[in-house]
Amino acid sequence: MPVDPLIAPLLAAVNARQEQVPLDVAERRAARSGDYSGFVEDEPAVAEIWEEKIPGPDITVRIYRPAASTRGAMVLYHGGGWWMGSPDDSDRRARAIAGRAGVVVVNVDYRLAPEFPFPTPAEDAYAALAWTVAQAGRLGFDPARVAVGGESAGGNLAAAVCLLARERGGPVPVLQVLEIPALDLTLGSPSVKTYGQGYVLPEEELRWCVRTYLGDHDPADPVASPLHAADLTGLPPAVILTAECDPLADDGRLYADRLAAAGVPVTFREFAGHVHGSHTLTRLLPSAREWRAAVVDAVVSHA
């Protein structure tokens, strides 16, 4: 299926900007993509939003607590290729989950490459999960009902956290929600070539992000590439949502297949006509609102 016609004008604008992408990380961060907030719906009001520091890694988390009593929580990791981004980028997603699912959301400002390359972002993500579970009594939710989730690089970190929690005997999430996740940093998935040019996330840019994050580290390390983990048994139930016209599309599909083969309950859906990141355009696309509803429903069912 071709790209959704409602997305096409935005895609053309993104492609035009990518012709002048600077090489320096600082310049890239300053020259971030255009503001599409006008295409994103406002989310329900959340009673309390504040920030705290996690000791140890000394990272900041933004906490969203809804007015109604909550059962569980979700630890959320923003996207940005492991080298850019902040809780501001996932703020509306956090508000949607907190307000619509009625859970506490902990939105994590993990440290970024290249200043903090692999495995620091993954370790920060794991530390945020452990901290969240430890704060359950104070924050008012059941510590046995904590989910993790994220978009793109954040989806990668959420999957890595589940592997680390299983291996370390730490708090295991009740659910992992992986949206447009990057799960194979060897970039061996067929969709990298199929959609690696002209669909928001060029293959060249994707390879640059991986080099910036990993340096000389083995991209097949399971913490970097959960798809390459030898054993996926015992992991939390997963909801994996991908965009059809995305170089990362096959990562999610292949991981869903492997989880299912390992006996892990998994729900997989590929959204036709979507590109990388278009799932956030809830004011523009009915299918983006459907995508958001799938995330909220999953959190309601588990957390």
Catalytic residues: 152, 246, 276
Q: Do 259 and 266 contact (CB within 8 A), yes or no?
A: yes
Q: How far apart are CA 255 and CA 240, in angstroms?
A: 9
The phi-psi region of residue 55 (left if phi > 0; otherwise alpha if psi is between -120 and 50; otherwise beta) is beta
> Can you list the alpha helix ranges (DSSP code H) found in the chain?
8-18, 25-30, 91-101, 120-134, 136-139, 153-168, 191-194, 203-214, 249-261, 286-302
Tokens of 162: 């589940």
For residue 231, report the phi and psi dihedrals to the nearest 5 degrees: -135, 120
Q: How far apart are CA 271 and CA 244, in angstroms?
A: 6
